[in-house]
Amino acid sequence: MRVSQLLIPTLREVPAEAEVISHQLLLRAGFIRKAAAGVYTFLPLAWRVIRKIEQIVREEMDRQGGQEIMMPIIQPAELWQESGRWDVYGPELFRLKDRHGRDFCLGPTHEEIITSLVRGEVRSYRQLPLLLYQIQNKYRDERRPRFGLMRGREFIMKDLYSFDRDEAGLDVSYGKMYEAYTRVFQRCGLKFRPVEADSGAIGGNDTHEFMVLAESGEALVVFCPGDACGYAANVERAAATPPGDTGIDEEPRPAEQVHTPGIHTVEQVTAYLGVDARRLIKTLLYRTEKGTVAVLVRGDREVNEIKLQKALDVLSLELADAPAVERISGARVGYAGPVGLTGVKLVADPEVMGLVNAVAGANRDDTHLINVNPGRDFIPDLVVDVRLVRAGDPCPHCGTPLQEARGIEVGQIFKLGDKYSRALGATYLDENGQNHPVIMGCYGIGITRTMAAAIEQNHDEDGIIWPVSIAPFHAVVIPVNHKDERHMQMAENVYRDLAGGGVEVVLDDRPERPGVKFKDADLIGYPLRITIGNQTVETGAVEVRRRATRETGLVPRDRLVGHVRQILFES
């Protein structure tokens, strides 16, 4: 392909609307253009990347016995009413009516359609297991679409659904997908981690997220650096190790009020009273649809609201505002504490219960209590792990101090069990003629999100650095002087040789200065840049530069194809 004939509208300026680097670079390098908020057109280079990712995904799904199908994007409301999700899905579901007034939605996911299909076609245990998948546009009407392809309203997903006769079968299917996902992201050339995750609203039990590691990632994960262990979890889900010996060897003393004027943050209290933050009890008030809750964690800890929400089994959870705090605690914000607090549910993290002679708010302005002893001075309604696990905490499996990383969720695998098959009546007959619901799993990969995540992980100040396997083209050939017939002819020959040698190559034949071409090449992120100049014409030496390392070398003309193939396909 010749660059002069490709639609690659690169931009010099950083577009104002792009908040994250992948969005900026996808716009600047001419990969995407916005059609509406959260809705994009994929230009030729982006589409090549997407098709490569899709093909890797397809091959790995097929390898595990997945069968590719294509379900509709417009889904009739009836099925969503059967599953019960029509009413609960909320404003993220794009809804529409057809000309006869019948309700439809644009599929954000396909549990209903596929379960209805399987209900109609699967009758016997002989037809199981079954792994069906598709690669398709999905829709989510985000309140605030942002970050380019990271949080769009129209995006491409691979979704696979597994159907098994029992939980043991589901374990096998889940294992296959875990392996497939691992291979997919390896083949995409990405650094990633599968982590234990929270199953959220989709239901089900076991679930893993596949995180592409990047400093800009929205998600925080903790992982065990121990070679043998392998524990990794989204902090949303990571379980805290039960507290061991606190190391506090004191007799409980009588609780006592102390005057702490204007002293209300953890930092202020520890400094003012000269105590360690680990001896403080931090009290946070949350409003939920089941009433207000006071949550206690150690002064050096943060509350994990995902775990808290799950422990309380509530749909809404938000910090109480200042007037509510004052009304409930009887004091300004910063002085709430568990002792004598009434009218709220009291939830304590286990670590709090191990404290002796602790410090807490006194529910009185400018006042704290010292020598607070849990169990003696207050008794929680619920003791449950609600704290955020952080780096340095012991691994729950092996005790090694955990490490932290940031990641971008590009895939998630779920065990659904019989939630949808029961709701929609998808059953099979076993060997004895007994009817059972099929046991399901669902498994998603964000294709367009993977493209964005690849950029978040692989870029520098000059542009994108594509992994070879998903690069739009492997190499660009640049003649230094487009007015020099010898440069152009040599470039043309090199281009043809490389293309003939199985290299996906473009020839930058535009009548532009070399600086413009070099800048575009770096911005677009071709893994290799091959430059043809006077040197090549005179000595036959071709300059080959690796985008990732910026290493530049001279290669004899007659060994070029082999050299390039070696760099691309054998390293």
Residues found near its own copies in the complex (CB under 8 A): 4-7, 9, 33, 35-36, 39-44, 47, 50, 65, 67-76, 91-92, 94-96, 98-99, 102, 104, 106, 113, 116-117, 120-121, 126-127, 130, 132, 137, 139, 141, 143, 153-154
Minimum CB separation from its own copies for residue 151, in Å? 14
Backbone angles phi, psi at 147, to 5 degrees: 60, 30
- Tokens (6 digits) for 395: 């691994």
Question: Which residue number, 377 or 509, has a Cβ lying nearer to its own copies?
Answer: 509
Question: Which residue number, 126 or 513, has a Cβ lying nearer to its own copies?
Answer: 126
Question: Which residue number, 23 or 545, has a Cβ lying nearer to its own copies?
Answer: 23
Question: Which residue number, 128 or 213, has a Cβ lying nearer to its own copies?
Answer: 128
Q: Which of 492, 518, 501, 483 is nearest to 565 (CA)?
A: 501
Minimum CB separation from its own copies for residue 553, in Å? 32
Residue that has been written with the tokens 């234990």 in this structure: 196
- For residues 474 and 513, the answer to whether their CB atoms sit within 8 Å is no
- Tokens (6 digits) for 336: 């709430």
- For residues 212 and 190, the answer to whether their CB atoms sit within 8 Å is yes
Residues in the chain: 571
Question: Which residue number, 94 or 272, has a Cβ lying nearer to its own copies?
Answer: 94
Q: What is the DSSP letter of 168?
A: H
Burial track 388-408 (b if 16+ CB lie within 10 A, e otherwise): bbbeebebbeeeeebeebebb
Minimum CB separation from its own copies for residue 36, in Å? 4
Question: Which residue number, 386 or 523, has a Cβ lying nearer to its own copies?
Answer: 523
Minimum CB separation from its own copies for residue 218, in Å? 21
Minimum CB separation from its own copies for residue 288, in Å? 25
Minimum CB separation from its own copies for residue 87, in Å? 16
Q: Which of 147, 152, 156 is nearest to 54 (CA)?
A: 156
Q: What is the DSSP letter of 206?
A: -
Q: Which helix (H) or strand (E) holds 22?
A: helix 21-28
- Tokens (6 digits) for 413: 């695998």
Q: Which of 236, 45, 234, 28 is nearest to 148 (CA)?
A: 28
Question: Which residue number, 6 or 537, has a Cβ lying nearer to its own copies?
Answer: 6
Question: Which residue number, 67 or 435, has a Cβ lying nearer to its own copies?
Answer: 67
How far apart (Å, rounded) are the C-alpha atoms in residues 83 and 427? Answer: 15
Minimum CB separation from its own copies for residue 380, in Å? 40
Minimum CB separation from its own copies for residue 144, in Å? 10
Minimum CB separation from its own copies for residue 202, in Å? 21
* Residue 374 CA: distances (Å) to CA of 50, 282, 362: 56, 13, 14
Minimum CB separation from its own copies for residue 517, in Å? 16
Residue 323 burial class via C-beta count within 10 angstroms: exposed 0-12, middle 13-18, buried 19 and up: exposed
Question: Which residue number, 126 or 259, has a Cβ lying nearer to its own copies?
Answer: 126
Compute how many other C-beta atoms are within 10 angstroms of the C-beta atom of residue 467.
18
Question: Which residue number, 2 or 259, has a Cβ lying nearer to its own copies?
Answer: 2
Question: Which residue number, 27 or 560, has a Cβ lying nearer to its own copies?
Answer: 27
Which residue type is seen at 291? G
Question: Which residue number, 44 or 262, has a Cβ lying nearer to its own copies?
Answer: 44
Minimum CB separation from its own copies for residue 99, in Å? 4
How far apart (Å, rounded) are the C-alpha atoms in residues 496 and 82? Answer: 58
Question: Which residue number, 44 or 502, has a Cβ lying nearer to its own copies?
Answer: 44
Minimum CB separation from its own copies for residue 75, in Å? 7
Listing from the earlier edge strand, what are the strands of the sheet with 291-298? 317-319, 281-288, 291-298, 345-348, 382-383
Longest dimension (CA), the chain: 94
Could you please report the per-residue DSSP string of 223-280?
Answer: E---TTT--EEETTTPPPPPP------------EEEE-TT--SHHHHHHHHT--GGGB
Q: Which helix (H) or strand (E) holds 473?
A: none
- For residues 458 and 467, the answer to whether their CB atoms sit within 8 Å is yes
Minimum CB separation from its own copies for residue 174, in Å? 18
Beta carbons within 8 Å of 449's beta carbon, 6+ residues apart: 149, 150, 155, 408, 409, 410
Q: Which helix (H) or strand (E) holds 162?
A: strand 154-164
Omega before 129 within 30 of 0, i.e. cis: yes
Minimum CB separation from its own copies for residue 33, in Å? 6
How far apart (Å, rounded) are the C-alpha atoms in residues 141 and 150? Answer: 14
How far apart (Å, rounded) are the C-alpha atoms in residues 506 and 519? Answer: 15
Minimum CB separation from its own copies for residue 425, in Å? 16
Question: Which residue number, 73 or 333, has a Cβ lying nearer to its own copies?
Answer: 73
Question: Which residue number, 8 or 344, has a Cβ lying nearer to its own copies?
Answer: 8
